Amino acid sequence: MVRYSKQKAPSPETQDEAQKLARATQQPGQTKEQTRLIARGIQRGIDEYKKQHKARSRELNKRVKQVKAQSQTSDAEAQPQATHAQGRPALLPWILLLLSWVLFAGFVMLKP
């Protein structure tokens, strides 16, 4: 029976990067086994960093979705009030039109 480990195998890019970093920090007289252990530690650090970055990204996406949902619900609540407020300015042009006709009629009546 094949057993699957909980940890996934690291990507080849991560392995290469860890190996390069381990070789760059290699001390004189250091054995290949020690370098391999250092590379494995660096690789684990990179994997841990990627996991944390993904978790932060997911958390940020959740917060953004919550804010968008809250703004949409507040917009939906504010929209009926906005249509009611838009009804009042529509009264102003009619009043101005009526006033202009009254003034025009008064001007025509006063003219001899």
Average pLDDT over residues 80-103: 76
- Alpha-helical segments (H) within 1-90: 12-24, 32-87
Lowest mean pLDDT among 4-8, 21-25, 81-85: 81-85
Condensed to tens digits (0 to 9), the pLDDT of residues 23-75 reads 888 888 989 899 999 999 999 999 999 999 999 999 999 999 999 988 888 87
Amino acid at 72: Q
The reply to whether the predicted model has a pTM over 0.95 is no
Token match 């590379």: residue? 39
**Residues sharing a CB contact under 8 Å with residue 40, sequence separation 6 or more, in sequence order:** 18
Model confidence at 96: pLDDT above 90 = yes
State the pLDDT at residue 45: 92
User: Alpha-carbon distance 55 to 84, whole Å?
Assistant: 44
Residue 39 in contact with residue 19, Cβ under 8 Å? yes
